[in-house]
Structure 1
């Protein structure tokens, strides 16, 4: 006769406890994944963004079709510094450029042949030194003097702007052609090359 009292065996309780534990772990993982996805979207939108290198203007340090990660937040806290690689929007052309910062507000730029002077002091550009030496070994200039606007007699960088050039000096449309770049038009600083995997590396910003 069933008197309404049901006893649960220890084995049954053990299985039930284990199922409850597994369920809690799954719920915990789902919460963690959800939070992670949300954070990725927030970081992607506010802090970082991918960008594609187009063209040969930043060779030998960046090659066309390479993918880079941009730090979108850094210039909210400070201004760009010389030698940093930045991506900025060119409104007249409706597209983004990737170039290297050569001068900042107040700097006087002079560029003749392969010699760069900032505020009257010659700058040793380590990031293109190898390419320059290779050109000189062939009896050539790395910065081809026949390239339009290759020579800068003297140019002072206005407030709120930067002067940029591509590393591939005789094959770059930069401040020599498009003028000074407003800091407001900077999308971010290129910090990591992440694709292709064989080229993956941190971007070196050297002065």
Structure 2
């Protein structure tokens, strides 16, 4: 009888050990899965500040697509998440100039290689409210500047307050600084939507 009880206790201990090991293994698998998703698929993003207002609002939360930067080219007017060395933070900005292009802003107009390019993503009602119906500058005059072959010119949609590639301390961004594209807003719930190359 004592032998049977001892065997039962040992069996129970082994069973508990196996359950603990299975639990630890499951936690490790989940951790690796989440790490790989964040590294190569979707990155959580919290909007910090109003540099992209009204397209994106301070403290909106969502995800950005990391995988898309590996499988598709970065296009003009796409919204991207970029790493800024100066602040050691991730910024959400919009792609304005592509590698090798000459970028200039003059009298609220964007010029790419000397040709006017319309920025159709703007919330025109908001722009008018900030410029006395177009009588004042929304985007200050800048450039021209010619980008190198691995550089992108990024700006925030809220041009009057955004710190971006127009700032002397920031300048153009290297391609490897762009960590993901698009923003899928999940919170607040009434602002849910995808921001890619326009607004929500």
* Same-fold status (TM-score > 0.5): yes
**Among residues 166, 169, 173, which one is paired with 1:176 in the alignment?**
166
- Partner of residue 155, structure 1: 145
CA distance in 2, matches of 1:113, 1:40: 49
Please report how far the alpha carbon of residue 129 of structure 1 lies from its aligned counterpart in structure 2 after TM superposition.
4.7
CA distance in 1, matches of 2:148, 2:134: 37
**Among residues 123, 137, 140, which one is paired with 1:141 in the alignment?**
137
TM-score, with structure 1 as normaliser: 0.73
- Partner of residue 65, structure 1: 59
1:187 aligns with 2:183: no
**Among residues 175, 193, 199, which one is paired with 1:201 in the alignment?**
193
How big is the alpha-carbon RMSD for the aligned residues of Structure 1 and Structure 2?
Answer: 2.3
CA distance in 2, matches of 1:74, 1:124: 25
Counterparts in 2 of 1:47 and 1:101: CA distance versus 1, 3 Å:
same
What secondary structure sits across from 1:171 in the alignment?
coil
Please report how far the alpha carbon of residue 38 of structure 1 lies from its aligned counterpart in structure 2 after TM superposition.
7.7
**Among residues 105, 110, 113, which one is paired with 1:119 in the alignment?**
113
CA contact (8 A) 1:87 1:187 kept: yes
Which one is further off, 170-179 or 134-143? 134-143
What secondary structure sits across from 2:166 in the alignment?
helix
**Among residues 127, 132, 136, which one is paired with 1:132 in the alignment?**
127
CA distance in 2, matches of 1:50, 1:123: 32
Please report how far the alpha carbon of residue 153 of structure 1 lies from its aligned counterpart in structure 2 after TM superposition.
2.8
CA contact (8 A) 2:94 2:155 kept: yes
* Per-residue Cα deviation, 1:142-190 (whole angstroms, up to 9, x for no partner): 23xxxxxx32131111111100011011101000111110110112012
* Per-residue Cα deviation, 1:115-161 (whole angstroms, up to 9, x for no partner): 11112221111111513344342733223xxxxxx321311111111
CA distance in 2, matches of 1:43, 1:82: 26
**Among residues 41, 45, 52, which one is paired with 1:51 in the alignment?**
45
- How many pairs are equivalent? 167
- Partner of residue 77, structure 1: 71
For structure 2, the 5+ residue unaligned runs are 1-25
CA contact (8 A) 1:69 1:191 kept: yes
Counterparts in 2 of 1:157 and 1:68: CA distance versus 1, 3 Å:
farther
* Per-residue Cα deviation, 1:53-95 (whole angstroms, up to 9, x for no partner): 1111101101100113111111212331110011111112211
CA contact (8 A) 1:136 1:142 kept: no
TM-score, with structure 2 as normaliser: 0.75
